[in-house]
Amino acid sequence: MNTEIASISFVYRFLFGKPFRVGRHALLAFALAIIALGRQVHCYQLYPGISLPLWIFFVVSIFAVYLAVAYLNLYYLLPHYLFKGKYSKYIFLLSGVVFIFVFLQTTQELALYLGLSPTYYLSHLKPGSIGDFFSFFLTNMICLFGLSATALLRQWNNEREEVAQLEKQKVQTEIRTFKEQLNPAFISAVLRLTSDLVQNDPSKVSVILFQLSQLLRYQLYDCRREKVLLQAEVNFISDYLKLERICSCRFDYSVQVEESMQPMWIPPLLFMPFVRYAVEHIHIGENPFIHLSFKHSGDGLQFTCRLENAYFSTDTSALQPVRQRIELLYPEGYCLNYDTDSITLKLENND
């Protein structure tokens, strides 16, 4: 049983593994060489008067043509037609190439026989020779279809591995997304503030704790969903900025949503990393202000984070995981630009 599993594993690695790429091509060349040699041995047996150098020349030429047809199929016909679903064009072009190849090989053998002994060839010419021609044509087509099936299987396996890799990246991105949620240090700062205010301003403590509970509720429950309403995300950001401002008093802010905005579903915590980046990575001047805006952009959404009397740090490496997540969620459907005082994200509606 273990031997069978090891054998299957080796065949799988040989067919699909990159380390065996040279071995696969060597095996293909060896098989084509055997076919070309067998074809010309048959010709040599029919007419032994062929000189050995001429026979070797024909073996090498036929082998070269076999290689040309096989690699034309592998590197042009397959990627340009079969892999793109153009099956009828692929079969038509492959049949044409094989027909021309068989015709040229048959013509070569005919020229050889007529040049050496026309009477011998004509005496052995039978009506079944046309059937042999088409039999040779079908044999070559079947061999090339087998080669195409192997390449198609390898293409399917590569696509399957790419999908698995994307799924792995998605899981890793989701893990990073949880890391982009509320910072434990921020929660600790809020709790310390409430403990300081509980004696002097209990009403303010109630407001702060209520805001914090809203944030935690959104983080624990709404963020489990695949998508949330844009308004829920905006409310979460507003509550976060309100608490951040109470704790630090370093900046002021505004959150504007275009009045004509229709209800829109977005992935949770999509904009929160930019807001945290604005809070944690700004160089503050006099009366710093953070402007957040959400508005329509075609069929999608445009988010802008603009600073006033402040500017962002030149180190944008913290935004790289955010870009990777957006690339997964909105492939070819987003535009992210950031400057020293603004971040703009445009999203297309991919519902």
pLDDT tens, position by position, 304-339: 999 888 877 777 777 777 887 888 788 778 888 888
Question: Does residue 188 sit in helix, strand or coil?
Answer: helix
- Residue 187 and residue 327 share a domain: yes
- Ranges 44-53, 182-191, 239-248, 299-308: which has the least confidence: 44-53
Predicted model pTM: 0.52
- Residue 252 and residue 155 share a domain: no
- Residue 208 and residue 85 share a domain: no
* H helix runs in the chain, sequence order: 2-16, 21-46, 52-72, 87-116, 118-124, 128-179, 184-197, 202-220, 230-248, 272-280, 320-329
Q: Using CA atoms, how far apart are residues 137 and 140, in angstroms rounded to an integer?
A: 5
- Residue 318 and residue 190 share a domain: yes
Query: Which of the listed residues 176, 208, 225 is the one where a domain comes to its end?
Result: 176
- Residue 147 and residue 33 share a domain: yes
DSSP string, 248-305: H---EEEEEE-TTPPP-EE-TTSSHHHHHHHHHSEEEEEEEEEEEEEEEETTEEEEEE
Q: Using CA atoms, how far apart are residues 349 and 116, in angstroms rounded to an integer?
A: 74
CATH classification at residue 187: 3.30.565.10
- Residue 198 and residue 167 share a domain: no
Query: Which of the listed residues 145, 176, 207 is the one where a domain comes to its end?
Result: 176
What total of structural domains would you count in the chain? 2
Nearest to 193 by CA among 208, 178, 180: 208
> How many residues make up the chain in this entry?
351
Q: Which residue type does 230 have?
A: L
Q: Using CA atoms, how far apart are residues 58 and 188, in angstroms rounded to an integer?
A: 84
Q: What is the pLDDT of residues 113-170, one digit of tens each?
A: 656 555 555 555 555 556 667 777 888 788 888 888 878 888 887 788 888 777 767 6
In the predicted structure, residue 89 carries a pLDDT above the cut 70: yes
Q: What is the pLDDT of residues 257-310, one digit of tens each?
A: 988 777 888 888 889 888 888 887 776 667 788 899 999 887 789 999 998 888
Query: Which of the listed residues 176, 200, 225 is the one where a domain comes to its end?
Result: 176
Please answer whether residues 292 and 330 qualify as being in contact, where contact means their C-beta atoms are separated by less than 8 angstroms. no
- Residue 330 and residue 277 share a domain: yes
Q: Which domain holds residue 263?
A: 180-347
- Residue 335 and residue 191 share a domain: yes
- Residue 205 and residue 124 share a domain: no
- Residue 146 and residue 269 share a domain: no
